[in-house]
A and B are shown apart, each in its own frame.
Chain A
Amino acid sequence: MQIRRLAKAFSAFMICVLLLLSTMTVFASPDTLPADVTSTKDGLITICTPENSTTSTTSDKIALSALASPGTVVTVYRYDYNTATYQKVWADDAPLEASVGASWLFATQLNLQQGLNQFLIRGAWDDETYSVARFDVSLLDLSFMDRIKGVISVFFN
């Protein structure tokens, strides 16, 4: 009799713990996404910068900003040519992933690699409901720009 009571109390305690955990757990986005991933719901995320889907720069960092409704989990992915998939971007031992707060704001800086960088931003309400947006950034070689400047300076001086 007493064992049954104890079992009931233990079960109630476990249910409470599970309920508490369920409210605290934020679902994590997948580490990889297939190259042809598409949105299951449109308009969950709006990219503010970069403004164009294709840009080029000589700076090895680029600002990424976006707007999303509170609670949306925004994750940044970079295209991996070896696996032909999008891989979650990591910085300082943490993924570039955040749950958007009441301000609707999301912003981060992305490190660029030489050549073409293909990014994908995923804004998700849950595992099944998400939007994706893509943009490409080409990092130009600084020495190439310097060579052009050198040629111009020869003409001016």
Chain B
Amino acid sequence: MKTKRYLKDAILILLIISTLFLTVQIWMGSNPVANGNKSVFSVIVDPIIQLFSHEQEASLSDSLGNLMRPQKIVLNQSTKRAVLYSSDNFFSKVHDACDNLIKKYCQGTLKILSKETVPEEVYYSALKENSIYINYGNIYDYRLFFNSICGETSNDLNGDISSLREYIISLNDNILNNVTIYMKDYKSGNVYRYIVEEDKATYDRLLTEYFIDKGAQTLNYSFELNFHKQESGVGTLTKLVFEPKILFHLSPVASAVVTPDMNRFQDWSSLGPDTIDDLLNAFQVNPMTMRKYTDLANARVYVENDATLMLYPGGILKYQAVESGKGLPVATTSDKGTFDIYSAVTSAVNFVVDLNHKLPQNDTNSLRLCCDLVENTTSKTYQFTFDLYVNGLPVLQIDPDTGKSCHAIEMTISDGYIKYYRQFFHQYKTGNVGETIPPVIGAMDDLVDRLNPQDESIYVLNIARCYVDEQTQEALLPQWMVSVNGIDEIITVK
């Protein structure tokens, strides 16, 4: 009798254990969540863990810091001036030193000696003194900027700065051992000057170390050339008016060529089925329920309920949600009610980083956000672009359909859902520096010839160099890229 009861209990315990085991098996192995194949862990468990985890915030800050790194750093010492790009060895050294100063300010460990607003001319004159000019190339919302530097969104600067594109660390041409930080708020237009107690010699040493064995470059800001003014002295209407801080290379610029690296990405079949599955998972395309076919352009097309994912032979991935569909959810549950530029950028950055980590030959260190990151007042739809940087310069691609230049990543996020995503997966390797491109004035002549302004001047917002990949497999030489009225014009000067 006793043995029978023990046997019953044992069977019951075994049944309970097997029930639990099978339940876990079903949860782990199936796709019980509608609209995709996210596991229970990613839908239920992960968000709970994230609530108690500071790791994600830290990694977000790192990702933002990497993707929002400066476009260029300009060093000024006495009569010498040089511009550094992310490919320069000295770039990260200077960038780290400047980041540390801003971080100290954010953390409140820096003694502020004075704070005042100053006229724009004072800001410009700081660029002519011994100084370090950190230029991001795009306007960033203050929360994103400070999160990218110190991992926090609020600090003492919040009251002054709501969006910024650059800052200057001026080493003052005086005998006092302090440092001046200049920041311009792009929303109000105010320029703030913060004099802080900091060892000036640290930054002086950086400049001396750089210039000790390097000659100065032939560089001038447009305000130094008076090319930022609407009219010349005798009343001749100028054809071009330049943003005051545009740098003019007055002599030919030595540049390296880059070539497509076919060893790192050749075509989709070289990635293997597991990686393709990972890509499908990232876009919540369920291999069990999707429709798959190859279109006339030889692209692999995966059709899910309300979206299409296309893998083109040239290395372009395109995701497009149908107009009535929501798209791919990327915002966290807490962001849903208050989806703004901050949530949109963090969602976009997390998505891009996760997606690119799934590709064995891809890394996000070469990517950089290349659009203004400020609040969109008219709608909750945000468009973001990322450029692939090789040799410190962006590589643009020519869209075979439109013939226009495209960024490496273009995406649209609306109310927490990705509506459109396009990424070009080519990788490049740097060749030797041996070629030169003509000075920027030649490019301006070509720009005027192309746009042919009649009665009003053209406002040039930015001039930079870039590579343009026309998918000819040939070595790419930098070209001038000019931003006019929000459009980037690529100009090849022979």
Could you list which residues of chain A lie within 8 angstroms of chain B, going by C-beta atoms? 43, 46-49, 51, 59-61, 63, 65, 67, 92, 101-109, 149, 152-153, 156-157
Contact = CB atoms under 8 A, between A and B. Distances in A.
Interface string B421-439: 0000000000000000000
Contacts of A106: 441
Contacts of A61: 79, 216
A104 B220 contact: no
23 contacts: A46-B232, A46-B233, A47-B233, A48-B227, A48-B229, A49-B225, A61-B79, A63-B225, A65-B220, A65-B226, A65-B227, A101-B442, A101-B444, A104-B240, A104-B448, A105-B227, A105-B441, A105-B444, A107-B220, A107-B225, A108-B250, A109-B220, A157-B175
Nearest to B219: A109
B240 A43 contact: no
B264 interface: no
Interface string B220-251: 10001111010011101011100000001011
Contacts of A49: 224-226
A48 B242 CA distance: 14
B234 A43 contact: yes
Contacts, number: 78
B78 A59 contact: yes
B493 to A, nearest CB: 10
Contact of A48 (B218, B225, B251): B225
A48 B442 CA distance: 18
* Minimum-distance CB pairs A-B, first 6: A101-B445, A65-B225, A48-B226, A103-B444, A102-B448, A153-B175
A92 B439 CA distance: 15
Given A46-B233, A60-B79, A152-B175, A103 B240 contact: yes
Nearest to B223: A49
Contacts of B224: 49, 63
Contacts of B220: 63, 65, 107, 109
A120 B390 CA distance: 43
Given A46-B236, A103-B448, A108-B250, 17 more contacts: A43-B234, A47-B233, A48-B227, A51-B226, A65-B227, A67-B238, A101-B441, A101-B448, A102-B445, A102-B449, A104-B238, A105-B441, A107-B250, A149-B174, A152-B175, A153-B175, A156-B176
A46 B79 contact: no
B447 interface: yes
Given A101-B442, A106-B441, A107-B225, A48 B233 contact: yes
A67 B236 contact: yes
Interface of B: 78-79, 174-176, 216, 218, 220, 224-227, 229, 232-234, 236, 238-240, 248, 250-251, 441-442, 444-449
A51 to B, nearest CB: 7
Contacts of B240: 103-105
Nearest to A154: B175
Contacts of B447: 103
Contacts of A60: 79
A113 to B, nearest CB: 14
Contacts of B225: 48-49, 63, 65, 107
A7 to B, nearest CB: 39
B62 to A, nearest CB: 40
Among A47, A107, A152, max chain B CB count under 10 A is at A107
Chain B CB within 10 Å, residue with most, of A108, A153, A156: A108
B344 to A, nearest CB: 38
B441 to A, nearest CB: 5
A61 B220 CA distance: 11
B121 to A, nearest CB: 13
Nearest to A57: B79
Contacts of A101: 441-442, 444-445, 448
A106 B442 CA distance: 10
A152 B176 CA distance: 10
B392 to A, nearest CB: 23
Given A48-B226, A63-B225, A149-B175, A103 B445 contact: yes
A60 B215 CA distance: 14
Nearest to B452: A102
A104 to B, nearest CB: 5
B239 A102 contact: yes
Q: Which residue, B79, B226, B250, has most C-beta atoms of chain A within 10 A?
A: B226
Nearest to A59: B79
B231 to A, nearest CB: 10
A143 to B, nearest CB: 13
A68 to B, nearest CB: 9
Nearest to B240: A103
Contacts of B216: 61
Contacts of A59: 78-79
A102 B175 CA distance: 47
Contact of A46 (B218, B234, B248): B234
B188 to A, nearest CB: 29
A125 to B, nearest CB: 15
A156 B174 CA distance: 11
A153 B172 CA distance: 14
Contacts of B239: 102-104
A121 B174 CA distance: 36
Contact of A156 (B175, B232, B234, B444): B175
